[in-house]
Amino acid sequence: MHGISNSTMSKAAGRAGRLAEAMTLVRRVLAETRQAGVAADGVRASTVASDSGNVQSLGHGSAFTTSLLGARWPKDGFAKEISGGSAGIEMPDAMRGFLDQVGQLGSLPGMSGLGSSLAKAPAASLPAGARFEEYLYSNAAGTRAYKLYVPSGYNDQQSLPLVVMMHGCTQSPDDFAAGTRMNELAEEQMFLVAYPAQSQSANVSKCWNWFNASDQQRDTGEPSLIAGITRQILQDFPVDPKRVYIAGLSAGGATAAIMGSVYPDLYAAVGVHSGLACGAAVDMPSAFTAMRQGGVLRSNGPQQHGRVPRPVPTIVFHGDGDKTVHPANGDQVIAQSQGGAEFDSEISTGESAGGMAYTRTVQTDPAGQPVLEHWVLHGAGHAWSGGSSAGSYTVPRGPDASREMLRFFFDHANTAAAAFQGTPKSVSISTSSC
């Protein structure tokens, strides 16, 4: 014990205490799951295969089980230890994120190997003249890489829209681009696409930390990095500042909801696929609750019950068979984005070319302009609707979420962006956090 300070011993004891708390919580969740007779994410392996359509293509050998967000958990070792020997139980995203939080506190026994991530999707061949390049952005909150797709028809005299795409846990920009086919649509419809990349040092499974209260505020934490990336592109390319949009899947969808809430001057519209509302959770225990049954939207400052001061044009896709993020969260995203306004609603039903039924609700303002759009995908799980099997966690037979989001986005221009000067303080707004 010689040479070890009291401070060091105190920190070690704190880490051990947090690990013990994590083990207790995980064992309780797994016990409840075994009683229900389902996998820990609530979806049996056969359902995963049918909903994602491409789980087997991810290269997870028999030594691993896979959650619907793609994290790999060894059947032996840590996963076996926390489940009391029940190897093969699949870990839910919230549980994985909780363990990631513990793992970030330091090197702890049994935590090795949890940072394994999916291999990057093979780089797709680019059309002649197109670019898909990696850049870095840094500020006081840290550094993040991002990739930017510039379509082949671009010239520097054009003022193009920009779509910012937030990937889900364990995904990469290349993987997310392949799964959503957004780069192909950029070639077709002429816009730029940015893909911020979460770093493994910020979250072991490369999840955006949507559940941290410190990452739900304007100009701090991860929101400041994502907004900074967006502003950097606006400075470096002739982007139309009134036509900047953000969308994401799962943890990325929750982050897109945060960005739309705290940066209404920067983003004209938001797309949330299988995500959660801004402020649905503020720590890991509340994240478990939010993912299982929906969050509790909190009031803060000028906002009421988590609602932003004015409506935020938002389109939501969520499967009613999603066992990772409860579909009630889709309703909450819409309620939050509504901002207390009253709109006319029109409900329609349909079926995709691939045979997936859906219900679509469109809310319009007094001028007849669609402001909110909610797609409930019947029978779909936790995967990007209408995506390509070239990427992870897609359900190709569903309605084309990428194309529908773009249609919704391009119907909206951000009048608040007229005052944009390229600096965080250029526009005075009242919404600073969820």
pLDDT tens, residue order, the chain (434 aa): 434 344 444 444 444 444 444 444 544 444 444 343 333 232 222 223 333 333 322 222 222 222 322 233 333 333 332 233 333 334 444 444 444 443 333 222 222 222 233 334 556 789 999 999 999 999 999 999 999 999 999 988 889 999 999 999 999 999 999 999 999 999 999 999 999 999 999 999 999 999 999 999 999 999 999 999 999 999 999 999 999 999 999 999 999 999 999 999 999 999 999 999 999 999 999 999 999 999 987 643 334 434 445 899 999 999 999 999 999 999 999 999 998 899 999 999 999 999 999 999 999 999 999 999 999 999 999 999 999 999 999 999 999 999 999 999 999 999 776 444 344 443 445 568 87
Any idea what the Cα angle at residue 36 is, between residues 35 and 41, rounded to 5°? 115
Cα separation, 50 vs 135, whole angstroms: 36
Give backbone dihedrals phi and psi of 195, rounded to 5 degrees, phi first: -125, 90
Residues 94-111 as b/e (b if ≥16 CB within 10 A, e otherwise) read bbbbbbbbbbeeeebeeb
Element (H, E) at 375: strand 370-377
Q: Which residues of 405-422 are buried (b: 16+ CB within 10 A; e: fewer)?
A: bbebbbebbbebbeebee
Strand 314-319 and strand 344-351: the pairing is unpaired
Decide if 215 contacts 257 (C-beta within 8 A). no
DSSP-derived secondary structure letter, 11: H
Q: For the whole model, what pTM was predicted?
A: 0.74
Domains of the chain with CATH codes: 9-103 (no CATH), 131-419 (3.40.50.1820)
**Structure token pair of residue 126:** 């680019």
- Identify the three-state secondary structure at position 124: coil
- Expressed in percent and rounded to 5, the helix, strand and coil fractions of the chain are 30, 20, 45
